[in-house]
Structure 1
Amino acid sequence: MDRLKVVIPKLRIALKAYEATLLNNSCQQILQAVKGENSLKVIGPVPLPTKRRIYCVLRSPHVNKDAREHFEIRTHKRLIDIYKATETTLENLRNLDLPAGVDMEIKNV
């Protein structure tokens, strides 16, 4: 018996990373994995605003309250939308081997 092809109307992939180069390489890997199917429409990667978290630390505790150091962590984000995705597209995305510093979240919107 033939298996019915389930079409997912829209997939949204949200990517986060501390390094922009890792994030851009991961976006290219995702686009290559999705590129094989002709019926898909892919929008992205759309860059979202970078979040900056600044931490203030005392240089020497107990003395010199005025001596402080500032550190920051930048979180880069990208969005990729895939329209008319199939089960094989979703399976290809799950089998991707992304670098350790990249967080990928797939939502069915």
Structure 2
Amino acid sequence: MFAREGAPGVIRVVFASGPDHVVGGGGWGAHDGGVGRISGGYLNLHRPAAARALLEEALADGTRFGHAPHVDGWRFLDTVLTRLPPEARETSHDPST
């Protein structure tokens, strides 16, 4: 969830679990702040660069603070992964590596 200081409303980005979608703690080693696809692509939402890139993509797509109950984060995953510097991508879904 993102909020803008001094402005009403929030942008709530939701990553729902489903086919090929794994949300933190979903069984293959993703921690509680991780989302990814079994087929590939993992994002650590605890990293500030990842959160910022996600917010920027939602805003670029036309999302406005306080205007939608939630936004589907999966539609931004690939774009966000290409925008992030390598150290912010978290290529492994296993936190022990």
Q: State the TM-score, normalizing by the size of structure 1.
A: 0.27
Greater RCO (CA < 8 Å, at least 6 residues apart): 1
| Bigger Rg, which one | 1
Higher-helix-fraction structure: 2
Q: State the TM-score, normalizing by the size of structure 2.
A: 0.29
